[in-house]
Amino acid sequence: TEQKLLKAEALNVVGELAAGVAHEIRNPLTSLKGFVQLIQNQTDDFNQYLSIILSEVDRIEHIIKEFLVLSKSNSQNFKMACITDIIKDTVDLLNTQAIMKNIEIKTELEDQMPLVFCDPMQLKQVFINFVKNAIEASSIGDFVKVSMSLCDEKKNIQIQIKDYGCGMDEVVLKKIGKPFFTTKEEGTGLGMMVSTNIIKHHNGKLDVKSKKGKGTTFIITIPV
Ligand code: ADP
Ligand code: MG
């Protein structure tokens, strides 16, 4: 427990630092972007280079945004909320991305679910991360399944995100959730870290079952 406390404290410090740094970086980035666009409007020279600068700045912005989510998991906004609605929102949000890969997001949700004391925005971020990862791991035409049920004598809610995609081997499984660990060309390697952090703040638990080439199931358990 002593070690757990230390770890929680370290996470808080990281979160605060991240928030500070992220805000500091955001302003100069905005002016950098503005001036590059200004140059682009004035001349056709160096257009290719300027486009690269802009897309790299966009990438930095994307990383900063994920970092801010991480830091926000310290200042939560807890209230009673319906997880079913949060999952439905998530699926609506990611359906366009799924359809582009001809992937169907199937849901298996129970109607009579108790409300949960949680931070709905944060949980939505978690579900978005997992479902997005599932879509990205899947091949064209696969489906992704999101299911939710009560378990442990109705004390906990369990949310499963299942895909039939590339799966993970032992080496990758050990590294997921570490800051900046990614196997994707365009990945940030922050999604899993942010999600693990948020689940911890909800006194929840995360399990993963994965087989290389067969698919992956993430199981999130949250107390009601
Ligand atoms: P990113 O998605 O930006 O790479 P994440 O933290 O979300 O960062 O994920 C880290 C890594 O974990 C991914 O790059 C991938 O290798 C692995 N991973 C996560 N979810 C899955 C999944 N459903 N199937 C296969 N690999 C996954
Ligand atoms: Mg991800």
Question: For residue 2, what pLDDT is reported?
Answer: 60
pLDDT tens digits for range 127-160: 999 999 999 999 999 999 999 999 999 899 999 9
pLDDT tens digits for range 58-70: 988 888 877 776 6
Considering only residues 72 and 60, tell me which one the structure prediction assigns the higher pLDDT. Answer: 60
Q: Is the dihedral of CA 191, 193, 197, 203 positive or negative?
A: positive
CA distance 151 to 67: 33
Considering only residues 219 and 25, tell me which one the structure prediction assigns the higher pLDDT. Answer: 219
Residue nearest to atom 7 of ligand 1 (CA): 191
Q: Is 139 helix (H, G, I), strand (E, B) or coil?
A: coil
How far is ligand 1, taken at its centre, from the CA of residue 112, in Å?
32
pLDDT tens digits for range 93-127: 899 889 999 999 999 998 788 999 999 988 998 99
Residues with CB under 6 A from ligand 1: 129, 133-134, 137, 163, 165-168, 172, 176, 181-184, 187-192, 216
Element (H, E) at 162: strand 156-163
Considering only residues 24 and 81, tell me which one the structure prediction assigns the higher pLDDT. Answer: 81
How far is ligand 1, taken at its centre, from the CA of residue 38, in Å?
37
Nearest ligand (C-alpha, residue 214) = 1
Taking the CA atoms of residue 9, residue 127, residue 173 and residue 212 in that order, the dihedral angle to the nearest 10 degrees is: 180
CA distance 8 to 152: 26
Which of 222, 178, 152 lies closest to 14, judged by CA? Answer: 178
Strand 205-211 versus strand 215-223 pairing type: antiparallel
Instruction: Kindly report the pTM of this predicted structure.
Output: 0.77
Distances (CA, A) of 175 to 98, 99, 163, 169, 192: 26, 30, 19, 10, 10
Average pLDDT, the chain: 88
Atom number of ligand 1 nearest to Cα 193 = 6
Question: For residue 73, what pLDDT is reported?
Answer: 54
Element (H, E) at 145: strand 143-151
Considering only residues 128 and 73, tell me which one the structure prediction assigns the higher pLDDT. Answer: 128
Distance of CA 69 to the CA centre of its chain: 9
CA distance 158 to 160: 7
Helix residue ranges per DSSP H, 158-211: 170-175, 191-201
Mean pLDDT within 41-49:
92
pLDDT tens digits for range 169-194: 999 999 999 888 999 988 888 889 88
